[in-house]
Amino acid sequence: MTAVALTGPELLVRGAAQFTADLPLPAGALHGAVAVSPLAHARWSRLECTAAAASRGVLAVLTAADIPGVNQVGDVVADEPLLADREATCVGQPICLVLADAAEAAWRAAQLVGADWVELPAVLDAHEARAAGRLLGPPRTFAAGDVDAAWPRCALVVEGHVELGGQEHAALETHAALAVPRDDGGLLVHAATQSPSAAQRAVAAVTGLPMHLVEVQVTRLGGGFGGKETQATTWACLAALGALHSARAVRVAPDRRDDMRITGKRHPYLGTYRLGLDAEGRFQAYEVTLLQDAGRTTDLSPAVLERSLFHACSAYAIPNVRITVMSCRTNLPSNTAFRGFGAPQAIATIEAGIRTAARAMGVRPTVLQRANLVTEGDVTHYGMRLVDVRARECWDALVARFDPDRLAADAQAWNAQHPLVRRGVDVIPLCFGIAFTAQALNQAEALVHVYVDGTVSVTTGAVDMGQGVGAKLRAAVAHELGAPVELVRVEPTTTSRVANVSPTAASTGADLNGAAATQAARVVRAGLEKVDPGGELAWRQRVALAYEARVGLSALAHYATPGLDFDAGSHRGRPFAYHVYGAAVVTSTVDVLRGTAQVDRVAVVHDIGRSIDRLVDLGQVEGAVVQGVGWLTCEEVRHDGRGRLLTDSLATYKIPDLASAPEVEVVLLEREAPGLLGSKAVGEPPLVYGIGALFAIRDAIRSARPDLPDDVRAPLTPEQVFLALHGPLPAAPDADVPGGGGSGRADG
């Protein structure tokens, strides 16, 4: 019996899978740790590294002056030095790298680094940054119709404010990198990154090496959620800098607390909206201003903000729209990509407006939601005509299967009899565009080898971070070749085999890389068909015969998503390959006496196309839902008045656990779709369903406190639930934008 390589899931289940920090170290390897700024904004003229350099086991302390190339790791804008040089702009910004013979020795020495600090004023939330004019760029506006002319025609106009906090990625695997010098003067960098090519470019720039002397390899990630798209680059560059300086392998792997303190989160948002409706409840006009807390550098903030622009109307058709967004620079670690990438923040804002309008009209929000869902042929506010629209199909399937109106009626009846335990219900629809909004990223490369024994090797730019992309690639290649799937192996991603790869992000990993792999497999299959036109031979026989006939059994293919066309000047075009639809009903329970809330159940109908791997897809929907619920209920990112992270461990930062996570039931709506093997992307869109948890809890609270303000603040932690039930009504925020600390600031 032929031995078959274990798949990624099998290795994980057996506990045999190796992550970057698990890789065996070469002889003489060193460990790196960073010294960081203790102040949110400060300058210095001299670093004090003497004590650190003299510490036991320390070989070197590297500063910005030791960087042979460019001191820069900014992916979009060159505003992020690898090591701060005479100015720090947040607590936790790396200022030097300590190399030692043991990880603990490096960390202890890093704590001894000091400077002649001169503390400067710091800005710690988006509202304050906007008032000070600290914007990453000019405000951007998407508009359609004539909003100003529409307001007088509206029978009802509501307005309000939304404040949404950040979210820690909390991946099981923290950031890590291992750089190994090669005998040709190059570097092999094992990086825990979603962006191997971005890390390769940055390492080459920092070290001064050409890109072909830098190989970045990624076997797997222990979770990413966007946090390892750009911010893993810093750690890869630090390890590479240490390896180049010492001519020895260097591993950099911060512990959980340092990882949380140094890296960015989901962007906090502040929103102000106006929503106009006619007498029948049809949406006529929507205007919203969104302020984004970018943190100290650009990172991916403009791209995140752009996806907010695209998704500001969510799943609704609105003829007159004006959406204005601003990215605000604060003295906090740079916020970055996070599952959903700005869409959930925008969607939560319009959903808040819908509930305000429903309350004013005396109807359930579902009445307005269903009446205004997008339909076939609708044109979005950015000029894209929607085709194969499944929004109402998903909604109606949810109604038929789970009956949200009955659940709401049952909750109302319960609440009338139970003053101390209240129940709430909410429904959330989904319309999520799939593609990178940066058009150049919508491409992929794949290399397929068929060996003479019939086994198959596939290399793409896709990084498996628990989302099961490897399983989908295996299935696609096996299907195209006509080979047994157990003979197909997906290789670790490496920049020496596939070049210029796009990040595994934007829910495009399977679509892009699967299409490229399918194209490569198709080339190989065409060769096989020359020697066996009728396909009568068994797989291994076909391969052997092709080899004897000198037919090529390898192929490299490139794929670019067709049909994408968006004009950044006019804000019109087709930025997405397709949209994913769905709907979810969320039920919650609030203990009025204790002031606590529980999300009980989330029932989902999700548009999946043809599911390639049903267990993977169900797991992705369930995981995304729980992550969305966590963001809006218990995951509170808090800084003190000096910009220091208070929630810097999993003891002080609360993620959902088995006791608090809701029951999730998922129905996959399966029908042919434009993605890989007729499927649709599944990674990011389902997180939107978690927004229903916020409004289901508010629904339960309002049954006990009818005067609950319409303005929304999240996360709805137990503290916030208690105050909403028993505290004084909050003062009205500023008229222009909501006040408060979008970063979860706690002065003191």
Determine how β-strand 639-640 pairs with β-strand 745-746: parallel
Residue 127 within a domain: no
The Cα diameter of the chain in Å comes to: 83
Confidence class for position 370, pLDDT limits 50, 70, 90: very high
Which of 1-10, 109-118, 321-330, 718-727 has the least mean pLDDT? 1-10
Read off the pLDDT of residues 628-676 as tens digits, 9 standing for 90 and up: 999 999 999 999 999 999 999 999 999 999 889 999 999 999 999 999 9
pLDDT score for 737: 43
Q: Is 722 contained in some domain?
A: yes
Whether 232 and 193 have beta carbons less than 8 Å apart is answered as yes
The answer to whether residue 73 sits within a structural domain is: yes
Range of the domain at 543: 443-560
- Provide mean pLDDT across the span 161-171: 98
Domain stops at, among 185, 219, 253? 253
Measured CA to CA, the distance from residue 128 to residue 124 in angstroms comes to: 7
* 373 falls within a domain: yes
Residue 584 and residue 555 share a domain? no
Count the domains in the chain.
Answer: 3
Average pLDDT of the segment spanning 160-182: 98
Mean pLDDT to the nearest integer, 727-744:
53
Q: Are residues 461 and 379 in the same domain?
A: no
Catalytic residues: 684
The two structure tokens encoding residue 60: 């070197």
Residue 128 tokens read as: 């304050």
Flag whether 689 is in a domain.
Answer: yes
pLDDT (mean) for 268-276: 98
Query: Does residue 391 lie within any of the structural domains?
Result: yes
- Encode pLDDT of 230-258 as tens digits: 999 999 999 999 999 999 999 999 999 99
Same structural domain, 303 and 348: yes
pLDDT score at 462: 98
Domain match, 538 and 424 both? no
DSSP 171-193: -SS---EEEEE-TTS-EEEEE--
pLDDT reported for residue 729 = 73
Closest listed residue to residue 572, CA positions, set 137, 286, 139, 144: 144
30-36, strands of its sheet edge to edge: 58-62, 94-100, 30-36, 250-252, 177-181, 187-191, 214-218, 493-494
Under 8 Å between Cβ of 284 and 153? yes
Cα dihedral sign, 533-535-537-539: positive
Q: What is the CATH number of the domain that holds 513?
A: 3.30.365.10
- Residues 71, 98, single domain; the answer is yes
Mark which of 253, 279, 302 sits at the end of a domain.
253
Mark whether 529 and 583 lie in a shared domain: no
Please give the structure tokens belonging to residue 509: 């990993």
- Alpha carbons 554 and 541: distance in angstroms, whole number: 17
Whether 489 shows a pLDDT value over 70: the answer reads yes
Whether 249 and 317 map to the same domain: the answer is no
pLDDT band for position 747 (cuts 50, 70, 90): very low
Instruction: Give residue 6's pLDDT.
Output: 76
- Span 260-283, mean pLDDT? 98
In the predicted structure, residue 478 carries a pLDDT above the cut 90: yes
Give every strand in the sheet of 118-119, ordered side by side: 87-88, 42-43, 118-119
pLDDT for residue 732 is more than 60: no
Q: Is the peptide bond before 715 cis (omega within 30 degrees of 0)?
A: yes
14, part of any domain = yes
Phi-psi region of 560 (alpha: psi -120 to 50; beta: other; left: phi over 0): beta
- Decide if 234 contacts 82 (C-beta within 8 A): yes
What values do phi and psi take at 277, rounded to 5? -130, 155
Residue type at position 329:
R
282 and 328 share one domain: yes
Does residue 53 carry a pLDDT above 70? yes
We report the CATH number of the domain holding residue 28 as 3.90.1170.50
Q: Which pLDDT does position 171 carry in this prediction?
A: 97
Question: Tens digit of pLDDT for each residue in 308-318?
Answer: 999 999 999 99
Structure tokens at 491: 């290789």
- Residue 56 pLDDT exceeds 70: yes
Percentage of residues in the chain having pLDDT higher than 90: 94
Rg of the chain in Å (alpha carbons): 26
Residues 373 and 277 in one domain: yes
* Whether residues 595 and 528 fall in one domain: no
Q: Is the pLDDT of residue 738 over 80?
A: no
Mean pLDDT value of segment 343-364: 98
Final residue before a domain boundary, out of 560, 591, 615: 560
Pair 555, 577 in one domain: no
Arithmetic mean of pLDDT over the chain = 96
* Residue whose structure tokens are 């099961």: 468
One domain for residues 520 and 583: no
In a domain, 381, yes or no: yes
Confidence of residue 730 (pLDDT cuts 50, 70, 90): low
